[in-house]
Amino acid sequence: MLRKALLLASPLLSLGACPFGGEQGVLPDGHPAVAQETYAAALGDLDLDLVRSDLKALFLNSQDHWPADLGNYAPFFVRLTWHCTGTYRSSDGRGGCEGGRQRFEPERSWADNTNLDKARALLWPVKARYGDAISWGDLMVLAGTTAIESMGGPVLGFCAGRLDDKDGSESIELGPSEEQEAVAPCVLNGTCVSPLGSTTVGLIYVNPEGPMGNPIPAESALQVRDSFGRMGMNDSETVALIGGGHAFGKVHGACPAGAGPSPKEDPLNPYPGLCGTGKGKDTFTSGFEGPWTTTPNQWSNLYFNDLFNNDWEVHVGPGGHHQWRIPNATGPMAGIMRLTTDIALLHDPAGIYQKIVKEFAADQAKFDNAFAHAWYKLTSRDMGPALRCLGQVAAPPFPWHPSLPARSSEFPPAWPQVKASLKEMARGYSKPIFPADVFSGQSYYGGLFLQLAWRCASTFRQTDYRGGCNGARIRFSPEKDWPANAELDGVLKVLDGVKARFGEALSWSDLIILAGTVAVEEAGGLPMSFCGGRTDATDGSGSELLTPRLSPGPGTDLAFLVDGMKVMGLTRREFVALVGGGHTLGQMHASRSGFISGPWTSSPSRFNNEYFTNLLTEVYQEVSVQSGEKKYKAVGKQLFMLKTDLFFKADPEFRIHVEEFALDNQAFLESYRAAWTKLVRSDRFDDPTGKLCE
Ligand code: HEM
């Protein structure tokens, strides 16, 4: 028996209270937490060593339909894994091997992924043997990692736990696509800039031949630093990865004829290869030809030794592209080659890559260590915090795997008392330290509590599981300095007393989320379950990646709004409910966002669907503000909207939800509860199925 029966045969997990928005009951089939737990159980029962030994046998079993170079597919699988994971970009957390989206459009037809359909086809017998116990995403990561190990390379571990997507839609923003063009246009393909991950849309990183195909190593070095930087790699990691990857295998470009149509162009016969037989020695993949070293199936630092100790000259290879060789070399050395991006490591204008090349050439152990760490980083960032890694996890957690301190032994606080204090404060006396809003002559902090909780939670990125309120990094730079968070430190000061009263038992992050939750309930929202147990980070590190990354330009704002919503993992209905609900309470503040102070609704301390009715019935006119951010005022009334609010009315796909909520207060209240609990639980990797929920 390959694996034990799944512990969680039923897709429904019984819970006393539903932490995900419903009243009582179970998590629905298909809920991410259920899918994740089901997969974790299956993976836990899987003998990963057995999978690895199957993979090692596969590497050495050359098939006639796609013969292995020198009888070993291992280098081919290193490339597969690198191309699956190397799509990760830190600008918005998109990319990486999670979802296994290299199987789908657009990724499978990217020029960089030429012939990787063959690698995935070779993997099928292994996938078939273990079925749902290992996802495609995990299997593709394990294949390259095992390949490195099989050739004697250093490996730290295997961070598993990826769920497969059903299509490639999550890669559409990577381009080429209309969605990518709207938020991250690339004026001249080949010179694309961040937030895109690569210099060329359709490559995962940078043109191997040099910028725009020009074999100029110094300029190529700049592109390499830029594009690996967008993947979150420093100089040492960059050099280790390039030289470690290219310790193995070869490039393929037997003749200039090309690889033939991509899967998108010809799904039945993709990349047939237009040179001779199209396979084996006739393979055309990138159009370059030759190995990097004389021992391409064996781990070594020869890549660096040969690079550093020889002169290199550019020439046009058999595939018609510029590549580099050692002048007048004889014997096996006459066959080795370098790409312009490899030679670039000797011509870094900053003088840094050269030093690292020299170090790695002289010190195998140093190189081993650097490569092992860089590979583990490359193959695990898409998984987010260390807690999400399953499988053969390397210890300790590394900086690229954000982690939080353990829960205090004093946890939990007396939740009813905490809630009572917050409820009292929402409409309590204004504190001199940060004055409350005043509505109908009454002090009101509820809107500010909700805004603080929203700003804290809405940093969450579903794309790479970073951000969220767990850790309460909103207390520290850089988050506290973001313009959108202006004056929220004042709201924190208002909450100081509650924090002091309950001490270590109550974390700031739980307090912030609970304050927002209580504010909604107290104002008329439906009762919500609360799942305590968050802990507090000791500084703001990690948040720099979460900085709002795109400044909307004229006419593009709707696309930016939708993009931000998708990064958070929210649907349009959830997003409208959350933003509309948030703007139901409290008001805009002149001190923070231009010279207008005023509410969205006539009852800014009551939680109901008035925001939606106002949006559809009032006539809003633009009013100018100092900050440049446009605001809109209802004709004849002191009611306001932001430009983003008006998009909900103008965009038909948002508007259907606005109409629904305007007509049905109960539907709004229920949708808000579901969306809020989803958002504030999205970073609870410590308690995925809500065992700590009240
Ligand atoms: C192959 C470019 C970084 C691993 C190739 C090929 C190109 C290329 C053009 C040839 C594909 C073919 O014709 O079959 C680049 C560039 C890089 C880069 C421009 C960055 C500047 C990496 C990294 C790794 C890696 C970081 C892994 C850590 C490999 C392997 C092969 C390969 C193993 C050989 C595959 C085989 O033998 O079939 N690379 N690469 N590369 N690359 Fe890279």
81 within 8 A of 382, measured Cβ to Cβ: no
For residue 23, tell me if it sits in a domain.
Answer: no
CATH of the domain at 386: 1.10.420.10
pLDDT at 30: 60
Smallest CA separation from ligand 1 atom 4, residue? 245
- Distance between Cα 376 and ligand 1 center (Å): 17
Task: State the Cα–Cα distance between residues 670 and 667, nearest whole angstrom.
Answer: 5
670 within 8 A of 18, measured Cβ to Cβ: no
Which residue range forms the structural domain that includes residue 576? 415-681
How many residues would you count in the chain? Answer: 694
Same domain, yes or no, for 342 and 419? no
Pocket test for ligand 1, best of 212, 224, 246, 297 (most atoms within 8 A of CB): 246
pLDDT at 463: 95
Atom of ligand 1 nearest to the CA of 249: 37
Same domain, yes or no, for 299 and 434? no
pLDDT of 119 strictly over 60: yes
The residues that are catalytic are 83
Smallest CA separation from ligand 1 atom 11, residue? 251
Task: State the Cα–Cα distance between residues 410 and 412, nearest whole angstrom.
Answer: 6
Mean pLDDT, residues 172-185: 90
Smallest CA separation from ligand 1 atom 28, residue? 245
Atom of ligand 1 nearest to the CA of 342: 21
Task: State the Cα–Cα distance between residues 27 and 693, nearest whole angstrom.
Answer: 13
pLDDT of 622 strictly over 70: yes
Smallest CA separation from ligand 1 atom 41, residue? 245
Same domain, yes or no, for 440 and 381? no
390 bridge partner residues: 160
Atom of ligand 1 nearest to the CA of 253: 13
- Distance between Cα 191 and ligand 1 center (Å): 20
Total domains, the chain: 2
For residue 633, tell me if it sits in a domain.
Answer: yes
Task: State the Cα–Cα distance between residues 428 and 443, nearest whole angstrom.
Answer: 6
Same domain, yes or no, for 594 and 531? yes
pLDDT of 4 strictly over 90: no
pLDDT at 283: 98
Mean pLDDT, residues 18-41: 66
What pLDDT digit, counting tens, does each position of 329-369 carry? 999 999 999 999 999 999 999 999 999 999 999 999 999 99
Smallest CA separation from ligand 1 atom 5, residue? 251
Pocket test for ligand 1, best of 76, 79, 206 (most atoms within 8 A of CB): 79
- Distance between Cα 91 and ligand 1 center (Å): 24
For residue 568, tell me if it sits in a domain.
Answer: yes
Three-state secondary structure along 374-410? HHHHHCCHHHCCHHHCEEECCCCCCCCCCCCCCCCCC
- Distance between Cα 542 and ligand 1 center (Å): 30
Mean pLDDT, residues 389-408: 90
Last residue of a domain, one of 392, 423, 443: 392
Span of 28-32, 330-334, 519-523 with lowest mean pLDDT: 28-32
pLDDT at 33: 76
pLDDT at 567: 95
For residue 3, tell me if it sits in a domain.
Answer: no
pLDDT of 526 strictly over 60: yes
How many C-beta atoms lie closer than 10 Å to residue 190's C-beta?
17
Atom of ligand 1 nearest to the CA of 224: 21
- Distance between Cα 79 and ligand 1 center (Å): 6
pLDDT at 29: 60
For residue 693, tell me if it sits in a domain.
Answer: no
- Distance between Cα 244 and ligand 1 center (Å): 10
Sign of torsion over alpha carbons 24, 27, 31, 37: positive
Smallest CA separation from ligand 1 atom 2, residue? 208
Residue with tokens 């633009």: 622
Same domain, yes or no, for 93 and 126? yes
pLDDT bracket for residue 556 (50, 70, 90): low
For residue 10, tell me if it sits in a domain.
Answer: no
What pLDDT digit, counting tens, does each position of 440-477 carry? 999 999 999 999 999 999 999 999 999 999 999 999 99
Helices and strands per DSSP (H, E), number in the chain:
23, 15
pLDDT of 1 strictly over 50: no
Smallest CA separation from ligand 1 atom 32, residue? 79
Atom of ligand 1 nearest to the CA of 284: 13
Pocket test for ligand 1, best of 78, 151, 336 (most atoms within 8 A of CB): 78
Smallest CA separation from ligand 1 atom 30, residue? 79
User: Any residues with Cβ below 6 Å from ligand 1, and which?
Assistant: 69, 75-76, 78-79, 82, 205-206, 208, 224, 241-242, 244-246, 248-252, 285-286, 288, 339, 341
What pLDDT digit, counting tens, does each position of 226-253 carry? 999 999 999 999 999 999 999 999 999 9
Task: State the Cα–Cα distance between residues 337 and 573, nearest whole angstrom.
Answer: 54
- Helix/strand/coil percent split, the chain, to 5: 45, 10, 45
pLDDT of 21 strictly over 70: no
Atom of ligand 1 nearest to the CA of 344: 21
Span of 29-38, 119-128, 380-389, 607-616 with lowest mean pLDDT: 29-38
Atom of ligand 1 nearest to the CA of 206: 19
148 bridge partner residues: none
CATH of the domain at 622: 1.10.520.10
Same domain, yes or no, for 440 and 328? no
**Mapping DSSP to helix (H, G, I), strand (E, B) and coil, where does residue 621 land?**
strand
Smallest CA separation from ligand 1 atom 27, residue? 245
308 bridge partner residues: none
pLDDT at 35: 87
Share of the chain above pLDDT 90, in %: 82
Same domain, yes or no, for 315 and 464? no
pLDDT at 205: 87
Share of the chain above pLDDT 70, in %: 93
- Distance between Cα 245 and ligand 1 center (Å): 6
Pocket test for ligand 1, best of 82, 146, 271, 377 (most atoms within 8 A of CB): 82
Pocket test for ligand 1, best of 242, 376, 381 (most atoms within 8 A of CB): 242
Task: State the Cα–Cα distance between residues 390 and 291, nearest whole angstrom.
Answer: 35
348 within 8 A of 354, measured Cβ to Cβ: yes
Same domain, yes or no, for 504 and 607? yes
For residue 397, tell me if it sits in a domain.
Answer: no
Mean pLDDT, residues 553-575: 86
Span of 39-53, 182-196, 537-551 with lowest mean pLDDT: 537-551
Smallest CA separation from ligand 1 atom 40, residue? 242
Atom of ligand 1 nearest to the CA of 205: 20
Phi and psi (nearest 5°) for 16? -60, -55
Task: State the Cα–Cα distance between residues 270 and 279, nearest whole angstrom.
Answer: 13
Same domain, yes or no, for 297 and 425? no
- Distance between Cα 24 and ligand 1 center (Å): 52
- Distance between Cα 227 and ligand 1 center (Å): 15
Smallest CA separation from ligand 1 atom 10, residue? 251
Q: Which residue has the higher pLDDT, 594 or 426?
A: 426
Atom of ligand 1 nearest to the CA of 78: 33
Pocket test for ligand 1, best of 69, 251, 302, 379 (most atoms within 8 A of CB): 251
Atom of ligand 1 nearest to the CA of 208: 19
Q: Where are the alpha helices (DSSP H) in 231-363?
A: 235-245, 302-309, 340-343, 352-362
| Whole-number average pLDDT of the chain | 92
Task: State the Cα–Cα distance between residues 38 and 132, nearest whole angstrom.
Answer: 10
417's tokens: 């008392």
Same domain, yes or no, for 388 and 419? no
Last residue of a domain, one of 357, 392, 427: 392
How many C-beta atoms lie closer than 10 Å to residue 684's C-beta?
21
Closest CA to 408 of 509, 488, 337: 509
Measured CA distances, 572 to 161, 173, 551, 652 (Å)? 27, 17, 21, 11
- Distance between Cα 689 and ligand 1 center (Å): 41
688's tokens: 């995925």
pLDDT of 595 strictly over 70: no
Smallest CA separation from ligand 1 atom 34, residue? 249
Smallest CA separation from ligand 1 atom 8, residue? 208
Q: Which residue has the higher pLDDT, 497 or 689?
A: 497
- Distance between Cα 555 and ligand 1 center (Å): 40
Q: Which residue has the higher pLDDT, 494 or 548?
A: 494
Last residue of a domain, one of 392, 427, 460: 392
pLDDT at 549: 60
- Distance between Cα 158 and ligand 1 center (Å): 21
Query: ipTM of the assembly?
Result: 0.97
For residue 378, tell me if it sits in a domain.
Answer: yes
Closest CA to 615 of 654, 586, 570, 646: 646
Same domain, yes or no, for 141 and 257? yes
Same domain, yes or no, for 386 and 449? no
pLDDT at 628: 61
The DSSP call for residue 217 is H
Q: Which residues of 570-582 are buried (b: 16+ CB within 10 A; e: fewer)?
A: bebbbbbbbbbbb
- Distance between Cα 442 and ligand 1 center (Å): 66
